[in-house]
Chains A and B, each alone.
Chain A
Amino acid sequence: MKRSLFSRLPVVHQLRQSVGLQRGMLVVGLVITAVFVICALFAQLIAPYGFSQLRDANGQFGAQQAPSAEHIWGTTVSGYDVFSRVIWGAQTALEVMVVAVILSIFVGVFLGLVSGYFGGWLDRILVVLADAIYAFPSLLLAIVMSIVISGGQSNLYGGILAAAISITVVYIPQYFRVIRSETVRIKGGAFVESAKVIGASNTRIMVRHVLRNSTRTLPLIFTLNASEAVLTLAGLGFLGFGIEPTAAAEWGFDLNKSLSDVTSGIWWTAVFPGLAIVLSVLGVTLVGESLNDLADPRLRGRRAVAAAAGDVAATSVVPGGTLEAGPGGLAGLEGGGDFDDSGTRVHTDRSTS
Chain B
Amino acid sequence: MTTTPRNVVAIENLEVSFSTDAGAIKAVDRVSLSVAAGEVLAIVGESGSGKTVTAKSILGLLPETATARGAIVLSSRDGSSGNDVVSLSKKQLRGIRGSDVSMVFQEPSTALNPVYTVGWQIAEGLRAHGTYTRAEAKAKAIEILGRVGIPDPETRVNHYPHQFSGGQKQRVVIAQALVLDPGLIVADEPTTALDVTVQAEILDLLRRCRDEFGAAIVLITHNMGVVADLADRVAVMYQGRVVEEASAVSLFANPQNDYTKKLLASVPHIGQGALQTAARASGRADAWENAAPVVVAKGLRIEYPGRFGRGGFVAVDGVDFEIRAGEVLGLVGESGSGKTTIGRAIGGLTTVTGGSLSVLDHEMNGIRERTFKKVRSDIGFVFQDPASSFNPLLTIADCVAEPLVIHGRAENPRAARARVDELLEAVQLPKSYGDRFPHELSGGQRQRASLARAIALEPSLLIADEPTSALDVSVQARVLELFAELQREFGFAALFISHDLAVVDLLADRIAVLYKGKLVEEGTGAEVLGAPQHPYTRRLLASLPVPDPIEQASRREALRALRATEA
Contact = CB atoms under 8 A, between A and B. Distances in A.
B407 interface: yes
A335 B437 CA distance: 10
B537 interface: no
Interface in A330-345: 333-340, 343
A346 B238 contact: no
A199 interface: yes
Contacts of A135: none
Contacts of A194: 381, 383, 389-390, 450, 453
Contacts of B389: 190-191, 193-194
A326 B266 CA distance: 20
Chain B interface residue count: which class? 35 or more
Given A191-B390, A353-B189, A319 B263 contact: yes
A349 B24 CA distance: 12
A327 B48 CA distance: 12
Nearest to A322: B442
A317 B385 CA distance: 16
Given A197-B349, A304-B19, A189 B388 contact: yes
A305 B17 CA distance: 7
A212 B392 CA distance: 10
Nearest to A339: B439
A281 B388 CA distance: 39
A323 interface: yes
A313 interface: yes
Contact of B18 (A199, A335, A348): A348
Contact of B347 (A197, A329, A333, A346): A197
Interface stretch (B288-296, B471-479, B499-507): B471-479
B377 A213 contact: no
A334 B441 contact: yes
Given A349-B50, A352-B106, A353-B106, A312 B29 contact: yes
B26 interface: yes
A348 B474 contact: no
Nearest to A327: B239
Contact of B23 (A193, A204, A310, A329): A310
B25 A213 contact: no
Nearest to A337: B22
A317 B474 contact: yes
Nearest to B258: A319
A179 B266 CA distance: 44
B183 to A, nearest CB: 23
A53 to B, nearest CB: 52
A317 B46 contact: yes
A333 to B, nearest CB: 7
Interface string B451-476: 00100000000000000000110110
Q: A interface, how many residues as a size bin?
A: 35 or more
Contacts of A70: none
A349 B240 CA distance: 10
A317 B69 contact: no
B139 interface: no
B48 A314 contact: yes
Contacts of A304: 19, 67
A352 B105 CA distance: 9
B49 interface: yes
A297, A303, A319: most-surrounded residue (chain B CB, <10 A): A319
Given A198-B403, A313-B25, A348-B20, A307 B67 contact: yes
B65 A302 contact: yes
Contacts of A338: 20, 22, 25
B439 A308 contact: no
Interface in A291-330: 297, 302-321, 323, 327-329
A328 B444 CA distance: 11
Nearest to B374: A199
Interface in B18-54: 18-29, 45-50, 52-53
Contacts of B27: 312-313, 348-349
B327 to A, nearest CB: 21
Contacts of A307: 15, 17, 67-69
Interface string A19-40: 0000000000000000000000
Contacts of A351: 63
B457 to A, nearest CB: 8
B49 A197 contact: no
A312 B25 CA distance: 6
Contacts of A196: 348-349
A339 B48 CA distance: 14
Q: Which of B381, B437, B442 has the most CB of A within 10 A?
A: B442
B192 to A, nearest CB: 8
A196 B350 CA distance: 12
Given A197-B347, A315-B46, A213 B15 contact: no
Given A194-B453, A313-B48, A323-B430, A305 B24 contact: yes
A312 B50 CA distance: 10
B379 interface: yes
Nearest to B456: A198
B210 to A, nearest CB: 23
A190 B383 CA distance: 7
A191 B391 CA distance: 6
Interface centre among B20, B440, B444 (most CB of A within 10 A): B20
Nearest to B24: A310
A278 interface: no
A347 to B, nearest CB: 5
Nearest to A191: B391
B20 A315 contact: no
B127 interface: no
A38 B376 CA distance: 56
A349 B50 CA distance: 6
Contacts of B24: 305-306, 309-311
Contacts of B23: 310
Contacts of B22: 1, 337-338
A343 B392 contact: yes
Question: Which of B22, B259, B376, B437 neighbours the largest number of chain A CB atoms within 10 Å of its CB?
Answer: B22
Nearest to B189: A353
A308 B390 CA distance: 35
B564 interface: no
A197 B385 contact: no
A352 B390 CA distance: 23
B250 interface: no
Nearest to B443: A316
A205 to B, nearest CB: 10
Nearest to B261: A319
Interface of B: 15-29, 45-50, 52-53, 56, 63, 65, 67-69, 105-106, 188-189, 238-241, 259, 262-263, 265-266, 347-349, 373-374, 376-377, 379, 381, 383-385, 388-394, 399, 402-403, 406-407, 428-430, 437-445, 450, 453, 471-472, 474-475, 477-479
5 contacts: A191-B389, A198-B453, A310-B24, A320-B478, A351-B63
Given A194-B381, A348-B27, A348-B48, 10 more contacts: A17-B21, A191-B399, A194-B450, A198-B376, A305-B18, A308-B17, A316-B47, A343-B437, A347-B19, A347-B63
Interface of A: 1, 17, 189-191, 193-201, 204, 208-209, 212-213, 297, 302-321, 323, 327-329, 333-340, 343, 346-353
- A-B residue pairs, 9 tightest by C-beta: A310-B24, A319-B262, A199-B376, A349-B27, A308-B15, A337-B22, A307-B69, A190-B389, A305-B24
